[in-house]
Amino acid sequence: MDKKTSGKNYQTDTQLTHVGRYPDQFHGFVNPPVVHASTVLFPDVETMATGNQSYTYGRRGTPTTEALENAITELEGAAGTRLATSGLNAVALACLSCLKTGDHFLIPDTAYGPTRHFADTVLPKMNVEVAYYDPTRATDIKGLFKENTAALFLEAPGSLTFEMQDIHALSAAAKTIDATVLMDNTWASPLYCKPIDLGVDLSIQAGTKYIVGHSDVMLGTIAASEKAWGALDTVYGAMGVHVAPDDVYLALRGLRTLSVRFERHFKNTMSVINWLKDRDEVAAIRYPALESDPGYHLWKRDFSGASGLFAFDFKAGTTKEQSNHFFNSLNLFGLGYSWGGFESLAIPVKLKGIRTTTDIDPDCLSARLHIGLEDPQDLIADLEQALESAFQ
């Protein structure tokens, strides 16, 4: 924020408009410059020796990367933020910043699949012992703690199946053994959930999703509490991570409309769900903002809104052929990974190999939908014709 706005206590929508902008430092231009840089020059060898100037080398930060980092720091209420080259890169850096050889690391069974893959392939090489826990059982998490438990990972709601977690209780339990708490907060974004206020040390975002919001950039962010910041900054610097300036700029641009986009995603999602929940072909909807959802009370307590991503289970007896037919019949919903962009997407839920401690049928037939900014009546009509065609 610039001199007039910094340090003031503004509401979130006002923050979104002003964070990461410094017109008073850039000749009045509303947006920060896109600085393409490797070399930064020093005025003399003395300054070079001390490194005592704002920027020293492209990889170490530019006015562009700093603008996005500062924006996320303010929105998350963090001590500091580092950018990552993707959401998965953010997960990996956050984990590496708080784990060392011999540590025990607890991850919810519902974590994003590639997060599990990282934990199962890279962390064992450092002799980190990885264990998965049932995300809905916060009350007995202490029973899983060992002498060497160093970190507890959270993701709420869970990937593909949308179980909520008791962020408060889990963070408080981790504090009793001085373990670092990490949370993948992509679904709600820092707009609808503030993990650091709830006791989390490292709040992770796949900026690729809602922050960028236009399906055209891969980017991640890690916001750290005071306690976790130093170690995060060290790992980030040591690993040589750098996000390209044009991508950072697109994320800053996306951020400005995050709140208005979210409102519409939520409204459209509720319209679609209210229609979908009464369909014969649908057995259940998985979305914590629904009063009938088992995670509703936790969502209500800790989140201030909901996004456009949910899943539904096809009715018992649905065949794989019927499910495939449904997806292939969709016209407006694209079949593709990722979400958080302006457009609607659908994928069949695949749980094989990514659930080991929760009681869920890995062969269940479900659809994950991302509801975009199209007119919901058109989306409903598209779902209706696809369901009717699949179940005729």
Ligand X SMILES: *Cc1c(COP(=O)(O)O)cnc(C)c1O
- Using CB under 6 A as the binding rule, the residues of this chain from 299 to 318 that contact ligand X are none
Q: How far is CA 21 from CA 5, 54, 279, 294, 369, in A?
A: 10, 17, 47, 41, 34
Catalytic choice (209, 261, 355, 368): 209
Tokens 């890690």, located at residue: 222
Q: Which of 309, 273, 293 is nearest to 164 (CA)?
A: 293
Under rule CB under 6 A, residue 186 binds ligand X: yes
Q: Which of 98, 136, 80, 69 is nearest to 298 (CA)?
A: 136
Under rule CB under 6 A, residue 203 binds ligand X: no
Strands 149-155 vs 202-206: parallel, antiparallel or unpaired? unpaired
- The single residue among 20, 87, 108, 376 that binds ligand X, judged by CB under 6 A, is 87
Catalytic choice (184, 201, 247, 382): 184
With the C-alpha atoms ordered 104, 110, 111, 114, is the resulting torsion angle positive or negative? Answer: positive
Q: Are 304 and 271 in contact (CB under 8 A)?
A: no
- The single residue among 76, 184, 247, 302 that binds ligand X, judged by CB under 6 A, is 184
Region near ligand X per CB under 6 A, out of 2-10, 84-92, 140-148, 283-291: 84-92
320-359 footprint of ligand X as x/- string (CB under 6 A)? ------------------x---------------------
Under rule CB under 6 A, residue 171 binds ligand X: no
CB nearer ligand X, residue 92 or residue 235: 92
Active site residue 59: yes
CB nearer ligand X, residue 104 or residue 368: 368
Q: How far is CA 17 from CA 1, 2, 10, 13, 205, in A?
A: 10, 12, 10, 7, 19
Active site residue 378: no
Under rule CB under 6 A, residue 112 binds ligand X: yes
Q: Which two tokens stand for residue 144?
A: 């899983």
Under rule CB under 6 A, residue 159 binds ligand X: yes
- The single residue among 62, 81, 180, 208 that binds ligand X, judged by CB under 6 A, is 208
Catalytic choice (112, 192, 210, 249): 112
Q: Are 153 and 111 in contact (CB under 8 A)?
A: yes
Q: Which of 118, 123, 82 is nearest to 220 (CA)?
A: 82
CB nearer ligand X, residue 162 or residue 333: 162
Query: Interface with ligand X by CB under 6 A: which residues?
Result: 86-88, 112, 159, 184, 186, 206, 208-209, 218, 220, 338
Catalytic residues: 59, 112, 184, 209
